[in-house]
């Protein structure tokens, strides 16, 4: 009787053990499935994040390239616009149909390779040279206004001085009155210049627009320069006016080189005239 009871106990224990093992295996299997699900979800999230980041990066580079392309197209359109505005100016000036073959200025779109902003003598390098028709003493402008003047040229690049340079002075006029005066950098700020040597009887109102005069072989007339500010009397006989420049030298990427096709003829006649004095 005792042996039968002991055998029953063993069988019962074995059965319980087997049941528990089966349950444990089932739980482990279920746990493994859950782990796989969570791992798969995490993997998908990481993959999605990487894919999304890659797409955003590609979109950014694509957008930047498109913006560069649009900026170049804009510069080319501005070049054409200034050309036709110049023709209109000539027609109004001479009261006849303008002769396109005699229009003195050509406009050459370019990209800025390097520009200095933190020195006393600031400069600019552009990716166009004499192979593109650029010559020394060509003007450099943008859609916002005057940038500087070309001083040296090789085959594919040119070097110039920006308006933020004490060696640059530009013939300018007050747009509302026509009063003429030279504009030069104030030597301190990257957005300020001075309209100099203005007679005291010529008034310049704050807010007046300052543009190129057109009495120069470098720049055509009416290229924007800046906005007039406060004036100060100098030496009791002249006044100097502060000018806030339109051109932001910290953001400019593209420029247009302005080449006067008749500059050599003008320089030649100036030299001949000087020899007669």
Residue 208: closest CA among 195, 190, 192, 191: 195
Indicate whether 33 belongs to any domain. Answer: no
Indicate whether 80 belongs to any domain. Answer: no
The pLDDT score that the predictor gives to residue 105 is 84
Indicate whether 205 belongs to any domain. Answer: yes
The pLDDT score that the predictor gives to residue 117 is 82
pTM score, whole prediction? 0.68
- CATH code of residue 143: 2.40.10.340
Q: What angle do CA 223, 255, 147 make, to 5 degrees?
A: 50
Number of domains, the chain: 1
- Pairing of β 224-234 and β 180-185: unpaired
The pLDDT score that the predictor gives to residue 269 is 80
The pLDDT score that the predictor gives to residue 207 is 95
User: C-alpha distances in angstroms, 185 versus 141, 163, 273?
Assistant: 16, 6, 30
Domain that holds residue 132: 104-275
CB neighbours of 69 closer than 8 A, spacing ≥ 6?
A: none
The pLDDT score that the predictor gives to residue 205 is 92
CA-based R_g, the chain, Å: 37
For the chain (277 residues), the mean pLDDT of every run of 10, in chain order, is 54 64 55 54 60 64 71 68 59 49 75 87 94 94 93 96 94 93 93 93 92 91 94 87 94 90 79 66
Indicate whether 58 belongs to any domain. Answer: no
Indicate whether 110 belongs to any domain. Answer: yes
The pLDDT score that the predictor gives to residue 100 is 44
Indicate whether 99 belongs to any domain. Answer: no
The pLDDT score that the predictor gives to residue 70 is 73
Indicate whether 19 belongs to any domain. Answer: no
The pLDDT score that the predictor gives to residue 5 is 53
Indicate whether 62 belongs to any domain. Answer: no
């Amino acid at each position: 009787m005792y042996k039968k009871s002991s055998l029953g106990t063993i069988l019962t224990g074995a059965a319980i053990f087997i049941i528990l093992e089966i349950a444990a295996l089932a739980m482990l299997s279920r746990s493994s499935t859950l782990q796989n699900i969570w791992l798969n979800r995490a993997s998908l999230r990481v993959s999605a994040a990487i894919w999304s980041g890659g797409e955003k990066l590609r979109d950014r580079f694509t957008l930047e390239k498109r913006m560069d392309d649009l900026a170049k197209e804009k510069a080319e359109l501005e070049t054409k616009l200034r050309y036709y505005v110049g023709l209109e100016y000539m027609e109004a000036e001479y009261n006849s149909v303008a002769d396109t073959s005699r229009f003195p200025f050509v406009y050459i779109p370019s990209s800025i390779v390097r520009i200095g902003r933190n020195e006393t003598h600031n400069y600019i390098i552009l990716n166009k040279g004499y192979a593109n028709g650029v010559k020394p003493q060509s003007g450099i402008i943008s859609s916002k206004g005057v940038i500087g003047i070309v001083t040296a040229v090789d085959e594919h690049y040119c070097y110039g001085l920006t308006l933020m340079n004490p060696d640059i002075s530009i013939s300018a006029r007050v747009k509302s009155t026509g009063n003429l005066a030279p504009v030069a950098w104030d030597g301190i700020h990257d957005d300020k210049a001075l309209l100099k040597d203005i007679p005291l009887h010529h008034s310049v109102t704050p807010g007046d627009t300052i543009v190129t005069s057109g009495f120069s072989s470098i720049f055509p007339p009416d290229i924007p320069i800046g906005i007039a500010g406060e004036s100060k009397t100098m030496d009791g006989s002249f006044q100097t006016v502060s000018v806030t420049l339109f051109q932001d030298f910290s953001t400019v990427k593209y420029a247009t080189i302005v080449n006067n096709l008749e500059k050599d003829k003008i320089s030649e006649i100036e030299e001949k005239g000087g020899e007669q004095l």
